[in-house]
């Protein structure tokens, strides 16, 4: 299984985690509780205040009722006594005083009653007060009658009336008032007990809601804890795992490598670090699309995982880069056995997007403790070794050597120098002749870039072309070289060699750049070179990247009057079947097929099919890399009309081409007397 769970993370790595789930949960729970408690307390306090207000109001009303009722009772009683005394006294002054008091008592009674009526009264209190009113309205005329009798000096009759009617009547009024007082007390009791109940209720609610707040807080904390743990786990997984393959990513890998080193130090064993990079992966991506590229990466990941033990590590560092770590090793040869297995596993055919695909990888190896005692150095050195493996021809491995670092530094320096090379006119063109076997004359020259480095001398494109492509400088460089080549060839034309053609290489980046066609037009216009004398060399990879778009663009180029060739044919992913779709004029047979042509019947057969198909498709052919007369002889026999290679001439500066323009190669070929019948047609 590819997945490596977070359980493999060391404590050191856990240290750099963000606040853990339980801390977040605790905080969330605490905040929720705090908010709820503040809310509950505010509501509770308000309820308590309302209940207390109610209680105060009840007490206040009751006290006022009681005072007023007492006032009424006192005045009613006093009035009874006053009226009795009035009936008994004969002294006019005392009588006058008593009459005043009688009247004062009446007023005080009436005022108290009036005030009582304004207070909140229960129905029964209302009823009792109405009854008292009715009784008073009966008692009052009797009392007035008594006063009239007194004023008329009928004291005996007055006294009699007082005793028989006024006092009993007034007693009834007082009795009604006593009932009213009792009733008021009862009402007050009920109201106060209700207010007290409200109070108790408010307190109970407060307790209940506080409990609920506590519960909700715990609930929120649990929920947040579960959620945060899940988010944490997911984040941890994403931060340590490569999403495409499920392999550990660089961070987890470095951590696990460090653990391996600690173990190796303890057990005195070796650790092998293998830096793996797929060869020409970009080509798969460009040709078959990113989905296929991703599938290939996943397949490679599975195969690498399958070649090592469960306790060893495979990680993806990004793109097409993997790294494998094997521990508990006692001899380097054991590491190399594993590497051989990995090379074979990656090189086995793949079934992707319903087609069979081949891939390979380059592996750089560093070994603990020889090539470094820490993870950073070991990885860096394995990377450096991988770079050398790649340069050494791909599909191979390379053990790290300390001298490699010096080379890496040199490359870095070269990259910096290259940055200034174009501005300083250090990028120059050499030209390599293509000779017609039939005439023995120079048919065309191919322009090949060289870097005239101020310290290192003349450098071949193998050293710097990739750098130019990586940085995108190739577009500007290519445009300038095209102008130089056209200008140079126009000069040869002006010197009378009007048949001469110039072939210029165009890389994929240059081809797809929107400035290509305007660049060709400018180069032709500025130099005055006839378009038919210019040939652009493309690689088959360009067509495979996007066949339709490439065909359209080539047709646009051809509309300018120039010719187009396919360079290094047979080395890419295309097949002979694709050839009929390429709207080209010339097909250059790669030197790989030419190399063994005199010994290898397979190469002979291949060249024969290429030539035959080219003939049917009306394409011209040029054989590259002809180094010997024997090769040339074979190609001649097979019917290849034009050759290019060291046997004719190496790429040389323009001045040397001038002297070759009139050169006749036929004697050198010793072919003058037996020309192949097919060649005469060209």
Cβ(22)–Cβ(217) below 8 Å? no
Contact of 366 with 381, CB cutoff 8 Å: yes
Question: Cα separation of 611 and 638, whole Å?
Answer: 8
Q: How far is the CB of 574 from ligand C2E (least distance, A)?
A: 16
Tokens of 611: 């030539």
Contact flag: residue 540 with Mg ion (CB under 5 A)? no
Chosen from ligand C2E, Mg ion, none, partner binding at 288 (C-beta under 5 to 8 Å by type): none
What is the chain's alpha carbon radius of gyration, rounded to the nearest angstrom?
Answer: 57
Q: Give 490's DSSP letter.
A: H
501 binds Mg ion (CB under 5 A): no
- DSSP secondary-structure letter at 369? T
Q: x/- site string to ligand C2E, residues 431 to 470, per CB under 6 A?
A: -x---------------xx----------xxx--x-----
Sole binder of Mg ion in the list 69, 240, 489, 505 (CB under 5 A)? 505
* 13-35 exposure pattern, b = at least 16 Cβ within 10 A, e = fewer: beeeeeeebeebbeebbeebbee
Residue 390 beta carbon to ligand C2E: minimum distance, rounded to whole angstroms: 17
CB of 240 vs ligand C2E, minimal distance in Å: 42
- Rounded distance, CA 71 to CA 57, Å? 21
Listed ranges 52-60, 279-287, 330-338, 620-628: which one lies at the site for ligand C2E (CB under 6 A): 620-628
Picked from Mg ion, ligand C2E, none, the partner binding residue 646 (CB below 5 to 8 A depending on kind) is ligand C2E
The span of 340-348, 525-533, 598-606, 621-629 binding ligand C2E (CB under 6 A) equals 621-629
- Least separation in angstroms between residue 479's CB and ligand C2E is 11
Residue 674 exposed, middle or buried by CB count within 10 Å (0-12, 13-18, 19+): exposed
Cβ at position 516, least distance to ligand C2E in Å: 12
Q: What is the 3-state secondary structure (H, E, C) of 148-214?
A: HHHHCCCHHHHHHHHHHHHHHHHHHHHHHHHHHHHHHHHHHHHHHHHHHHHHHHHHHHHHHHHHHHH
Q: CB-wise, 183 or 624, nearer to Mg ion?
A: 624
In whole angstroms, what is the distance from residue 412 CA to residue 423 CA? 19
Nearest approach in angstroms of CB 449 to ligand C2E is 4
Within residues 612-641, the interface with Mg ion by CB under 5 A covers 624
- Of the candidates 507, 535, 563, 574, which one interacts with ligand C2E according to CB under 6 A? 507
* Residues in 195-254 that interact with ligand C2E by CB under 6 A: none
Whether 564 and 543 have beta carbons less than 8 Å apart is answered as no
Environment class of 655 (CB within 10 Å of its CB; exposed 0-12, middle 13-18, buried 19+): exposed
Q: Say how far apart CA 515 and CA 477 lie, in whole Å.
A: 12
Q: Which does 507 bind (CB under 5 to 8 A by kind): Mg ion, ligand C2E, none?
A: ligand C2E
Q: Among the candidate windows 359-367, 394-402, 522-530, 640-648, which touches ligand C2E by CB under 6 A?
A: 640-648
What number of chain residues touch Mg ion (CB under 5 A)? 5
- Whose structure tokens read 């797809």? 512
CA-CA-CA-CA dihedral for 482, 484, 485, 487, to nearest 10: 120
Among 651, 657, 665, 669, binds ligand C2E (CB under 6 A): 651
Residue from 581, 566, 499 nearest 536 by CA: 566
Instruction: Say whether residue 567 binds Mg ion (CB under 5 A).
Output: yes
| Out of 69, 249, 489, 505, the residue judged to bind ligand C2E by CB under 6 A | 505
**Does residue 255 bind Mg ion (CB under 5 A)?**
no
Strand duo 442-453 + 501-505: pairing: parallel
Integer Cα distance of 347 and 397 in angstroms: 13
The yes or no reply on residue 501 touching ligand C2E (CB under 6 A) is: no
In contact, 407 and 312? CB cutoff 8 Å: no
Decide: is 425 part of the binding site for ligand C2E (CB under 6 A): no
Among 159, 383, 501, 568, interactor with Mg ion by CB under 5 A:
568
* Contact flags string 516-555 toward ligand C2E, x per CB under 6 A: ---------------------x------------------
Beta pairing, strands 397-399 & 361-368: parallel
- Work out how close the CB of 465 gets to ligand C2E at its nearest, in angstroms, rounded to a whole number: 5
Position among 160, 328, 627, 633 found at the interface with ligand C2E (CB under 6 A): 627
- Residues found near ligand C2E in the complex (CB under 6 A): 432, 448-449, 460-462, 465, 478, 481, 505-507, 537, 567-568, 591, 624-627, 644-646, 651
């Amino acid at each position: 299984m590819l997945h490596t769970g977070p359980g493999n993370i060391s404590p050191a790595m856990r240290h750099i985690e963000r606040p853990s789930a339980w801390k977040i949960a605790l905080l969330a729970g605490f905040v929720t509780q705090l908010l709820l408690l503040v809310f509950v307390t505010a509501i509770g306090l308000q309820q308590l205040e309302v209940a207390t207000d109610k209680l105060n109001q009840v007490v206040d009303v009751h006290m006022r009722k009681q005072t007023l009722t007492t006032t009424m009772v006192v005045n009613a009683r006093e009035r009874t006594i006053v009226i009795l005394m009035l009936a008994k006294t004969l002294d006019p002054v005392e009588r006058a005083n008593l009459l005043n008091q009688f009247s004062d008592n009446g007023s005080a009674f009436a005022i108290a009653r009036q005030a009582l009526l304004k207070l909140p009264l229960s129905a029964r209190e209302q009823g009792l007060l109405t009854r008292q009113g009715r009784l008073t309205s009966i008692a009052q005329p009797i009392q007035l009658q008594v006063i009239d009798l007194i004023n008329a000096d009928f004291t005996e009759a007055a006294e009699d009336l007082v005793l028989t009617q006024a006092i009993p009547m007034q007693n009834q009024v007082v009795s009604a008032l006593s009932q009213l007082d009792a009733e008021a007390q009862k009402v007050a009791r009920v109201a106060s007990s209700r207010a007290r109940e409200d109070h108790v209720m408010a307190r109970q609610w407060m307790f209940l809601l506080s409990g609920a707040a506590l519960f909700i807080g715990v609930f929120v904390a649990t929920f947040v804890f579960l959620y945060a743990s899940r988010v944490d786990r997911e984040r941890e997984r994403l931060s340590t795992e490569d999403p495409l393959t499920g392999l550990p990513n660089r961070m987890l890998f470095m951590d696990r490598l460090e653990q391996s080193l600690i173990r190796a130090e303890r057990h005195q064993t070796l650790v092998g670090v293998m830096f793996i990079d797929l060869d020409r992966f970009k080509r798969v991506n460009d040709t078959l699309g990113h989905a296929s590229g991703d599938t290939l990466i996943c397949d490679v990941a599975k195969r690498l995982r399958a070649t090592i033990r469960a306790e060893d590590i495979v990680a993806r560092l990004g793109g097409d880069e993997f790294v494998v770590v094997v521990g508990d090793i006692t001899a380097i040869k054991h590491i190399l056995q594993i590497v051989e297995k990995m090379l074979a596993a990656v090189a086995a055919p793949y079934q992707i997007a319903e087609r069979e695909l081949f891939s390979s990888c380059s592996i750089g190896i560093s070994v603990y403790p020889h090539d470094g005692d820490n993870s950073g150095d070991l990885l860096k050195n394995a990377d450096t070794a991988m770079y050398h493996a790649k340069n050494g021809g791909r599909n191979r491995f390379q053990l790290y050597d300390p001298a490699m670092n010096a080379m890496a530094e040199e490359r870095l320096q070269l990259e910096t120098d290259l940055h200034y090379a174009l501005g300083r006119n250090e990028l120059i063109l050499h030209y390599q002749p293509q000779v017609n076997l039939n005439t023995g004359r120079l048919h065309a020259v191919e322009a090949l870039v060289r870097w005239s480095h101020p310290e290192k001398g003349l450098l071949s494109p193998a050293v710097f072309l990739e750098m130019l492509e990586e940085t995108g400088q190739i577009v500007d460089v290519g445009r300038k070289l095209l102008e130089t080549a056209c200008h140079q060839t126009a000069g040869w034309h002006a010197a009378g060699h009007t048949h001469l053609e110039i072939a210029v290489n165009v890389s994929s980046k240059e081809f797809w750049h929107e400035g290509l066609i305007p660049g060709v037009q400018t180069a032709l216009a500025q130099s005055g070179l006839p378009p038919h004398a210019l040939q652009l060399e493309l690689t088959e990879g360009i067509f495979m990247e996007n066949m339709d778009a490439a065909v359209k663009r080539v047709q646009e180029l051809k509309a300018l009057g120039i010719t187009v060739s396919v360079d290094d044919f047979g080395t890419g992913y295309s097949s002979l079947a694709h050839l009929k779709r390429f709207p080209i004029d010339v097909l250059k047979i790669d030197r790989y097929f030419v190399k063994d042509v005199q010994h290898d019947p397979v190469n002979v057969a291949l060249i024969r099919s290429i030539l035959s198909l080219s003939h049917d498709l009306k394409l011209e052919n040029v054989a590259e890399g002809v180094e010997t007369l024997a090769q040339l002889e074979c190609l001649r026999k097979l019917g290849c009309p034009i050759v290019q290679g060291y046997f004719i001439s190496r790429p040389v500066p323009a001045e040397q081409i001038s002297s070759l323009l009139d050169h006749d190669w036929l004697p050198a070929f010793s072919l003058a007397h037996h020309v192949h019948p097919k060649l005469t047609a060209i």
